[in-house]
Structure 1
């Protein structure tokens, strides 16, 4: 989670700085300006990193919060595809992996607590 959040933070900083790395396409349904997208990715990245540190600390609420923000990160990166397709699809996969890992971890903890 921390790595995925850090990647989103860097993505957000690059977009806010109006780097020439990103290509703004015309006539796209989700047409926001690059700075707006940068702030969205920066904030989501910070939230994902904070949730990652809380998960490492063992907080149960952090797993639920992590699933929520990683899901939002996956959606945001899906909508980011026209600006930088390879990076966006990579972060969609990372965020979906985070959601899977957090949900799988909760499922295994629930199974371990049961007595046969």
Structure 2
């Protein structure tokens, strides 16, 4: 686990000090040339910051004891220490919103079959 913390620290540094800066530069150019419409981007620094926010996740570390790790994630969500989105990304590297879309389709298909 100590190794993973070290890897995560380096990944956080890289994403913050490199990826985010490249993204902000790209976004600035894309808005300036009209490829992306971002209301208030050039007029309001708060709006620019909101438009420029990104979450850099990367791959998950894998799980040593999946049951305990999922239980811990549920407790963090239930106690307001984390979100479904963050826990999904950290446990699986996937996107919570996409999972919900797929689960909705699956449950709908299952309901149709069972009815």
TM-score (normalizing by structure 1): 0.27
TM-score (normalizing by structure 2): 0.27
Larger helix share, 1 or 2: 1
| Higher relative contact order structure (alpha carbons within 8 Å, sequence separation ≥ 6) | 1
Largest Rg, 1 or 2 = 2
